[in-house]
A and B are shown apart, each in its own frame.
Chain A
Amino acid sequence: MQSTTQSLDTQCRSDFPVLERRVRDDKALVYLDNAATTQKPIQVIDAITDYYKNHNSNIHRAVHALAEESTEAFEVTRSKVAKFLNIEKSEEIIFVKGTTEAINLVAYAWGRDNVQKGDIVVTTEYEHHSNIVPWQLLTQETGAELRYVDIDENGELMLEQLDEHLATGKVKLVAVSHVSNVLGTITDIKKVIKKCKDAGAKILVDGAQAVPHMKVDIGNLGCDFYAFSAHKMLGPTGVGVLWARKELLENMKPYQGGGDMIREVHKQETTWNDLPYKFEAGTPNVADVICFAAAIDYLTKIGMDNVRNHEIELTKYALEKMSKVKGLIIYGPKDAQRQGGVISFNFKDVHPHDVATIIDKNGVAIRSGHHCAQVLMEKLEVAATNRASFYIYTTKQEVDVLIDSLEQVAKVFKL
């Protein structure tokens, strides 16, 4: 990474080998599917190679040199996550395989003991399936009720509905995205957390689309559970983080039983290991957790405020140009300050898969489908949408290629 006054994409682009790719009849790859997963810089790729070449070993048990190195590197990542998100106690950080597993862990290990018949769990219309289905399973199993906070025409949460739910006094947990993966809407998370705290409800925040894109200060946020994934922030797939307040984790039963999560095992009973290991049964994803540290280092060096500002600039630029494309409908806030670097859109009466296929010929990778958010698709009364999402290496020229491609779609479909 060069450190100059150049734009962020110019500074870091050469660190991403895959961005050199040419696809579909030798077109330069324009990767705009960053909300699904981001590309990896060479620093992260080198870290994983280095681990397997020089250090590979299981962690936490053996006393030999490699095991010590691996254990140390694994725990260094935990400290780096803590520092990155201003978390005081690193034992509150549980490594899981992704946001989905983090949320499921809470639904099982906390939910099964704390949610009963007659209780209410609240989620929202703009959640990913991973923040809906675990709560459906929990409420169906316990006889509790699952309620939703709807969105308004700008794709923002109607918080007065949250007030109504909380006023019943029966809400045990509110599960909400920090940033919507489809609309990009940034939840007024401090306000939501305060409402939950005032009502005595626990709050889980799905930060999969927030932590990669903006400064998140978990230490001062005041929520109870926070989940996110490494692969959406330059890191490897198969690594996620659940953060939860220590007193909650201490009172929760383990999520899985097995090696590493125990203190003593006897024929009929077992005592649990300390936090965080109580929730990390079995050999974890050692290599990927270790190379996740390189992703955190990379983002720390750039600075999360710079990441956010770059995305605001791109989103503003793209929204302005897209609003001029014939027949294009944009969903969500349509305001770069109020949304992440995510824009969902459709053409009037053109299916998103036709859009994606046509623009894929120009090397443009966007996502089309329901984005694991069918509840939201129902609300928008569409089967699917197209979604373009940006990251640190996205350039304005790439947005221009997207716009040109969208003009082609309008032409093919005679809009």
Chain B
Amino acid sequence: MNCEKADKLLMDSLMGALGAEERRDLDEHLASCERCGEEAAEMETLWHELGRLDDSRSEVPSDRLTRRFRLALADFETNLHETSRPRFSEWWAGLWTARPAWQAAFSAAVLVMGVLLGAGLNSRQSLNEELDELRAEIETMSRAVTVSLLKHQSASERLRAVSWSRMSGGDDKVLAALLDSARSDPNVNVRLAAVDALAGYADQGSVRASLMDNLELEKSPLVQLAVLEAVAGDEGLRNGELQRLKEASEVDQTLLDYYAAQAESL
């Protein structure tokens, strides 16, 4: 046995982990090698001194330690029993956290429902909005078409424009264009159609005044009759209107006589 091996076995010897044969070899080496012998003696002393550290101190922990642990254990036990009987909310919360698959499914269902509901509401709303927008666009377009068509060269196109004007409602621009046509369109049929279209708005002050003004210029008795029918309606001419017409030489005498007789009968 060499010194290195002896050094290794020394600790095993102190730990009581040596076999009989190994111990005999070690003892032989320590007896023959002075340096290893001294070192082994020092280590052995240290090992035993280390053991005596324990002999000289109180080994037993105080009773306070046991009492403290008993109290802590009782606390722990109480808390454990309290938490082992869960209230409904805790049971529910436990179920919620214990089933991630359910959580995911429920969340997904809510999400899908939300998306569908939102899409449904939005689409209905946006459909209505779009329809309104379309309607407004069509009206604007028909007005523009009406106004521009009323200035068309072809009389038949101007007639079509008058019939279009009925679709675009009582827009100021359309009415103004119609009044213009009723007054100055060179074609009698267009003037007649325009007056016919304006008949519905004859109760509006400005339309009525414009139509009355037309009578002073209008030479066609047909148009004169149409205007007078539109203005007078069932109620007849208003005070002063017949007098004004009598002074205007253009209006046909037969028509004037007819309306004078009507005014008297009313």
Q: Note whether A and B form a binding pair.
A: no
**Interfacial residues, chain B to chain A (CB-CB below 8 A):** none
**Interfacial residues, chain A to chain B (CB-CB below 8 A):** none
